[in-house]
Amino acid sequence: MADTARVLRRMKSMLDDHGTPYRDVLTGTGDLAEFDLSESNVTVDRATMIKEGALSDLKPGQDYTLDPVQGRIILRGTAPLALGAIVIVEGTARGMFTDDDLLQYIREAQLWHCGDRVQTDRYRSPEGFYRYADEPLTLDSLPEIEELPLAILATVNALWDIATSLAPEPDIQTPEGTHIDRERTYTKTMDQITALTDRYKELCAQLNIGAYRIEVATLRRVSPTTNRYIPVFTPREFDDSAYPTRQLPPIDRHNEDPSGIPTPIISGLIG
């Protein structure tokens, strides 16, 4: 089955956003409870306090809170940090995205990639009949072979956010001759989005999975006497003894009468 940690590592490789470790030593002055770390977009792996020769680990949410985007740590249980006390903060700084950001892209990609797909399990009921249970396909039940397409789709979502932030930025030209071509960076980002999208489509076509898989639809008939749709039932295996499952395909409701005036109906003949 698919593993979130492996998908996350694939995304970091494609985005070249592995992050860099950092280590900050915060010295107490007796009146400060908030400290700016040396990096932004950070995660804290460990925070340790050294006070009067005693060493203790600080617990997140209880002893401190973290603003990961700004790279600021706020002490709570020990605030303000006593004079002479030291807090050592160790963690990883992200260049563009935090792990929470990347996990959000993965969740969004999973919704698109899995769509209406289900996993069918066949079992024997206590009465001795064969039954079939359909469970929605999730990241936990996704086959391992689909990890790469899912990671590519999540990376495309992340690159779209990067392209959106680059779009309104003007080019920079300084008198010293420094030139930063933001438009070219935006163009190369969009080219990468196109290339990864084509790769995702190719994998979906090869495996018949994801948002570009081939789906089989059932045409619905309308009764000539009642002008109503004929019921459609889900196809079943020959040994499935459960009751038929009714399908409710969406009905196109364009050009409906907005007046709200009811139409006279003679049951069985009109309407």
**Do residue 52 and residue 12 come from a single domain?**
no
Domain residues for the domain of 174 are 1-18+108-114+142-247
Cβ 35 vs Cβ 47: under 8 Å: no
174 or 209, which is more confident?
209
Cβ 171 vs Cβ 181: under 8 Å: yes
**Do residue 56 and residue 7 come from a single domain?**
no
Residue 90: predicted pLDDT: 92
Burial category of 101 from C-beta neighbours within 10 Å (exposed 0-12, middle 13-18, buried 19 and up): middle
Number of domains composing the chain: 2
Q: Is residue 137 part of a domain?
A: no
Q: What is the pLDDT of residues 124-133, one digit of tens each?
A: 888 888 888 8
Q: Is residue 125 part of a domain?
A: no
**Do residue 71 and residue 168 come from a single domain?**
no
Domain boundary among 33, 64, 93: 93
Is the pLDDT reported for residue 34 higher than 80?
yes
Cβ 112 vs Cβ 211: under 8 Å: yes
Q: Is residue 271 part of a domain?
A: no
Helix (H) or strand (E) segment spanning residue 75: strand 72-75
Q: Is residue 262 part of a domain?
A: no
Q: Among the ranges 29-38, 79-88, 141-150, 180-189, which has the highest mean pLDDT value? A: 141-150
Residue 140: predicted pLDDT: 85
For the entire predicted model, the pTM comes to: 0.69
Task: Calculate what percentage of the chain has a pLDDT beyond 70.
Answer: 96
Residue 271: predicted pLDDT: 47
Q: Is residue 102 part of a domain?
A: no
Q: What is the pLDDT of residues 133-159, one digit of tens each?
A: 888 888 888 889 999 999 999 999 999
**Do residue 164 and residue 185 come from a single domain?**
yes
**Do residue 63 and residue 8 come from a single domain?**
no
Buried b (16+ CB within 10 A) or exposed e, 112-133: ebbeebeeeeeeeeeeeeeebe
Quote the CA–CA distance of 55 and 36 in Å, as a whole number: 22
Q: Is residue 220 part of a domain?
A: yes
Q: Which residues contact 191 (CB under 8 A, 6 or more apart)?
A: none
**Do residue 13 and residue 53 come from a single domain?**
no
Q: What is the pLDDT of residues 206-243, one digit of tens each?
A: 999 988 988 887 888 898 888 888 988 988 888 888 88
Quote the CA–CA distance of 26 and 86 in Å, as a whole number: 6
**Do residue 24 and residue 78 come from a single domain?**
yes
